[in-house]
Amino acid sequence: EVQLVESGGVVVQPGGSLRLSCAASGFTFDDYAMHWVRQAPGKGLEWVSLISWDGGSTYYADSVKGRFTISRDNSKNSLYLQMNSLRAEDTALYYCAKDMGDIVVVPAANTHRTYGMDVWGQGTTVTVSS
Amino acid sequence: VIWMTQSPSLLSASTGDRVTISCRMSQGISSYLAWYQQKPGKAPELLIYAASTLQSGVPSRFSGSGSGTDFTLTISCLQSEDFATYYCQQYYSFPQGFGGGTKVEIK
Tens-place pLDDT, residues A16-51: 999 999 999 999 999 999 999 999 999 999 999 999
pLDDT reading at A73 higher than 90: yes
Residue A23: the pLDDT is: 98
Strand-pair partners of A33: none
Contact yes or no for B87 and A44 at CB 8 A: yes
Sequential DSSP letters for B46-105: EEEETTTEEPTT--TTEEEEEETTEEEEEESS--GGG-SEEEEEE-SSSSPEE---EEEE
Nearest to A118 by CA among B70, B53, B19: B53
pLDDT band per the 50, 70, 90 thresholds, residue A110: confident
Residues of A with CB under 8 A from a CB of B: 35, 37, 44-47, 50, 59-62, 95, 100, 106, 109, 111-118, 120-123
According to DSSP, residue B3 is labeled: -
pLDDT reading at A108 higher than 90: no
Percent of chain A with pLDDT over 70: 100
- The mean per-residue pLDDT over the stretch A79-84 comes to 98
pLDDT band per the 50, 70, 90 thresholds, residue B101: very high
How many Å apart are CA A23 and CA A78, to the nearest integer? 5
Residue A106: the pLDDT is: 86
Strand-pair partners of B11: B104
Residue B61: the pLDDT is: 97
Q: Are B54 and B63 in contact (CB under 8 A)?
A: yes
- The residue among B107 and A91 whose pLDDT is bigger is A91
Residue A107: the pLDDT is: 83
**Angstrom distances, CA of residue A29 to CA of A39, A70, A78, A81:** 24, 15, 8, 16
Mutation site for B-interface testing, chosen from A34, A38, A57, A117 by largest number of B Cβ within 10 Å: A117
Pairing of strands B10-13, A78-83: unpaired
Q: Are A70 and A51 in contact (CB under 8 A)?
A: yes
How many Å apart are CA A112 and CA B21, to the nearest integer? 27
- The mean per-residue pLDDT over the stretch A11-16 comes to 98
pLDDT tens for B82-94 read 999 999 999 999 9
| Contacts of residue B30, Cβ cutoff 8 Å, sequence gap at least 6 | A106, B67, B68, B92
Q: Give how far B100 is from chain A: nearest CA, Å.
A: 6
pLDDT tens for B20-71 read 999 999 999 999 999 999 999 999 999 999 999 999 999 999 999 999 999 9
Contact yes or no for A45 and B91 at CB 8 A: no
Q: Are A58 and A68 in contact (CB under 8 A)?
A: no
- The mean per-residue pLDDT over the stretch A83-98 comes to 98
Percent of chain A with pLDDT over 90: 92
